[in-house]
Amino acid sequence: MSNSLLILPGDGIGPEVMAEVRKVIDWFGARRGIAFDVSEDLVGGCAYDAHGTPLTDAAMEKAQSVDAVLLGAVGGPKYDKLDFSVKPERGLLRLRKEMDLFSNLRPAVCFDALADFSSLKKEVIGGLDIMIVRELTSGVYFGEPRGVFKEGNERVGINTQRYTEGEIARVARSAFELARARNNKVCSMEKANVMESGILWRDVVQEIHDAEYPDVELSHMYADAGGMQLVRWPKQFDVIVTDNLFGDMLSDVAAMLTGSLGMLPSASLGAPMANGRPKALYEPVHGSAPDIMGTGKANPIACILSFGMALRYSFGKGEEADLLERAIDKVLADGVRTADLMQAGDKTPATTAEMGDAIVAALDASV
Ligand code: NAD
Ligand code: IPM
Ligand code: MN
């Protein structure tokens, strides 16, 4: 089967970290005989600059036809004043919505070499391996009515939290399936104490569990308490399933448990395509980091690990993904650090390119 991959580097540090992913893709081609049919297009502010839209219809069609999409990041201060409909972030949201990528997997794994680096104590995060499953195509991000309206003499901003039971059921199934392949535990987070959509969320997750996954251990938690528990004792969790907005926030919290936003990858998965592979988009959790763009400080690991998730979930190459993760582990254990992973007293940081080169060298040494 061919392996088609659409790369959308995007804005800010997106192209910088993607250049390092390219080295890794080339390595798998040259050394492991896994050829990728790679094409590239624009998304975000750079697409707006070139075409007046954050995602052209042609790029959208390409995304629909490939085995996997790999995205860098979108956005930046240059585009903050643009009309809402053409903001860079709209390009990413269009991809997620039109590809129907309802299940967003955001793992938070603590690499041993970074256990000292987190702002939390080593015993709290050492060996941490949790998976946040964020619903990605509905909820307050997409609910109607929405907009800024005039009400009498003042403006009112409206967004709507809306979930159908079908939308909750399918992401719940995705979480239960993942849990079965891990430590068999799911914690579902909502705010059923204040939101009707939260009550429905809790009920549907429980129903799917009782009918189809009674073997998986299920618990429910209010999302605010969940944030607190993530910081207090994150190792109590295995899989967390939650809605679009809570998942956005909780996954940023989880990212910092592991040391840096520059470390956290993600996979956004939809229904299986004709070839049996899921519709899929892979991207780091971090954004375009305009504050460090062009300085060589960007950590490419989140984006490289996102490619690793593509190997695992789209291309059926779990062992190759393991190889890549072990190479990153080795590089970190050897003390190679980009600026975001430095502590007081550390020597000069590695640049983005030096980190990419070190990972390729570790891959070379491993086979
Ligand atoms: P951000 O993730 O871009 O940056 C937050 C902080 O983390 C910054 O200090 C940044 O320097 C640091 N950081 C992020 N990634 C890093 C990396 N790989 N290596 C080292 N340091 C890293 O979030 P923000 O500043 O809130 O947003 C900036 C822009 O990015 C906004 O326009 C936002 O909408 C967009 N954004 C895009 C995505 C995406 O494309 N998926 C995600 C989040 C934010
Ligand atoms: C993320 C980002 C996006 C989101 C933005 C850029 C649309 O924060 O992927 O976490 O809010 O989903
Ligand atoms: Mn986010």
Question: Residue 80's CB: how many other CB atoms inside 10 A?
Answer: 11
* 74 Cβ below 6 A of ligand 1: yes
Please give the Cα distance from 256 to 253 (Å, whole number).
5
What sign does the CA torsion over 193, 196, 198, 199 have?
positive
User: Quick check: 350 and 295 in contact, CB under 8 A?
Assistant: no
- Using the mean position of ligand 2's atoms as its centre, give its distance from the Cα of residue 332 in Å: 27
Asked, colleague to colleague, whether 1-107+262-367 and 129-257 share their fold, the answer is: yes
pLDDT in 10s for each residue of the chain, 367 residues: 689 999 999 999 999 999 999 999 999 999 999 999 999 999 999 999 999 999 999 999 999 999 999 999 999 999 999 999 999 999 999 999 999 999 999 999 999 888 888 889 999 999 999 999 999 999 999 999 999 999 999 999 999 999 999 999 999 999 999 999 999 999 999 999 999 999 999 999 999 999 999 999 999 999 999 999 999 999 999 999 999 999 999 998 998 888 788 999 999 999 999 999 999 999 999 999 999 999 999 999 999 999 999 999 999 999 999 999 999 999 999 999 999 998 777 789 999 999 999 999 999 999 9
- Using the mean position of ligand 1's atoms as its centre, give its distance from the Cα of residue 297 in Å: 13
* 288 Cβ below 6 A of ligand 1: yes
- Which pair of structure tokens corresponds to residue 100? 């129907």
- Using the mean position of ligand 2's atoms as its centre, give its distance from the Cα of residue 262 in Å: 15
Please name the amino acid found at residue 356. G
Nearest CA to ligand 2 atom 5: 89
ipTM above 0.95? yes
Nearest ligand to the C-alpha of residue 288? 1
Name the strand (E) or helix (H) holding 97: helix 88-98
Quote the strand ranges of 74-203, DSSP E.
Answer: 103-109, 129-135, 143-151, 154-160, 185-190
Nearest CA to ligand 2 atom 7: 89
Ligand 1 atom at minimal distance to the Cα of residue 74: 40
Ligand 2 shell residues, CB under 6 Å:
89, 92-93, 248, 285
Nearest ligand to the C-alpha of residue 135? 2
Catalytic site residues? 141, 191, 224, 248, 252
Collapse the DSSP code of 259 into the 3-class scheme (helix H, G, I; strand E, B; otherwise coil) and give the result.
coil
Please give the Cα distance from 225 to 247 (Å, whole number).
14
CATH topology of domain 1-107+262-367: Isopropylmalate Dehydrogenase (3.40.718)
Domain boundaries, the chain: 1-107+262-367, 129-257
* 75 Cβ below 6 A of ligand 1: yes
Ligand 2 atom at minimal distance to the Cα of residue 251: 10
* 101 Cβ below 6 A of ligand 1: no
What pLDDT, on the 0 to 100 scale, is given for residue 113? 87
- Using the mean position of ligand 3's atoms as its centre, give its distance from the Cα of residue 221 in Å: 21
pTM as predicted: 0.96
- Using the mean position of ligand 1's atoms as its centre, give its distance from the Cα of residue 76 in Å: 9
Ligand 1 atom at minimal distance to the Cα of residue 284: 41
Binding-site positions read: 76-89, 96, 106, 134, 224, 248, 252, 287-299
What pLDDT, on the 0 to 100 scale, is given for residue 1? 66
Binding-site positions for Mg(2+) read: 224, 248, 252
What pLDDT, on the 0 to 100 scale, is given for residue 88? 98
Closest alpha carbon to 282 in 176, 171, 182, 136: 136
Nearest CA to ligand 1 atom 6: 289
Q: Report residue 336: phi and psi, to 5°.
A: -75, 125
Please give the Cα distance from 206 to 208 (Å, whole number).
6
Tell me which of 2.40.50.140, 3.40.50.300, 3.40.718.10, 1.20.140.10 is the CATH number of domain 129-257.
3.40.718.10
Binding-site positions for substrate read: 96, 106, 134, 224
